[in-house]
Homo-oligomer: A and B are copies of this chain.
Amino acid sequence: MNKAKVLLEALPYIQKFHNKIFVIKYGGHAMIDENAKNYTAQDIVLLKYVGIKPVIVHGGGPEINRAMEKFGKKPEFIHGLRVTDEETLNIVEMVLTGKINGEIVSRIFKFGGKAVGLSGKSGRIILAKKKRKFIEKDGKKVEVDLGRVGETVEINTELLDILINNNYIPVISPIGIDEKGDAYNLNADTVAGDIASALKAEKLILITDVDGIMEDINDPSTVYKKLTVSDVKRLLKEGKIKGGMIPKVECAIKALESGGVKSVHIINGKIPHALLVEIFTEEGIGTMITKK
C-alpha cells in the first residue's frame, strides 16, 4: 500500500508530462561510475514507459582524454586555446559515437528500452559550421584557428521526429556536419539546448557531477531549488556562477528565452535516481530554472 501511495504521488507528474519531450544531457563526468550509468539508463526507460519522450545527448570529456593519451596524441594549443586537428576529431568521433554512444544504447536496451544511437551527422541532425574564435593580442582582435570545432547552424528534426513517434529513444553524439560533408566537434551542452529548442521540448535536463547551482560552491546544502532566468542573470553578474557552470546556464537561458523550453534542470548524476526524484517529486533534487 505504501508502494501504491508512491505511484499515486507520481501520477500528477506523469499526467502533466504525458507525451512531452525531455532532452537529457548526460555528461562525461556523470558517466564514470557504473552505478550512476545504470541509474540513469533505468530512469530513462521508466520515463519512456510512463509516457514521456526522452531524447539523449551525451558528451565524453574524460574518456576522450584517455583515448588521446593511448593514441599518443598530445593536446595542441594556440594562444592557450586547445586545437582540434583532423586526427583529434577522429579520436573524438570514435570515442563519442563508437564507444560512449553505444554504451548508452546497450544500457537502455538492458533495462528494456529501445534506443537508437546516432551521430549528429546522421540524417543531418546537426548542421554545423566552423566556430570562429577571436582573441585580443597586442590590443588587436586576432582570429585563432581552433580546427574542427563547430557550432550549430540548424537542427534538422525530421529523423528525430520519426524515431520519437515510433517509440525509439534517440541517443545523439555532438558531432555535426557542414554542407560540404565535413565533420565538427560541438559542445554537448549547447547541442542539447539547441535540440531541446528545435523539438520544443518541455524540459532540458543537464546531468552533471554537482548538485546544482549553489550559493556556496563547497556547500551542497546551499543549492538553489528554483531560479528564474533573471535570478540566474543576476548570479552571473555577481560572479556566483563560475567555471564549467557558466556555459551550462548560458545554454539554459537561451533554451528558455528563445526556444520555448519550459524548464531547465541541473542535477547530480552521482545521486542514485536523481532524474526520477527531480521529475516526480515536488521538492526535486537539483536546480530548476524557469523563464519566470
Contact = CB atoms under 8 A, between A and B. Distances in A.
Contacts of A97: 97-98, 101-102, 117
Contact of A106 (B12, B49, B95, B181): B181
Interface stretch (A23-31, A244-252, A269-277): A269-277
A67 B70 CA distance: 10
A114 B156 CA distance: 12
Contacts of A3: 6, 9-10, 276-277, 280-281
A99 to B, nearest CB: 5
The winner among A98, A122, A181 for most chain B CB atoms within 10 A is A98
Interface of A is mostly: helix
A55 to B, nearest CB: 14
Closest 9 CB pairs of A and B: A98-B98, A110-B181, A4-B273, A94-B98, A94-B94, A6-B6, A4-B276, A116-B122, A97-B98
Interface of A: 1-12, 14-15, 18, 42-43, 45-46, 49-51, 67, 70-72, 90, 93-99, 101-102, 105-107, 109-112, 114-119, 121-124, 158-159, 162-163, 166, 168, 175, 177, 180-183, 271-273, 276-277, 280-281
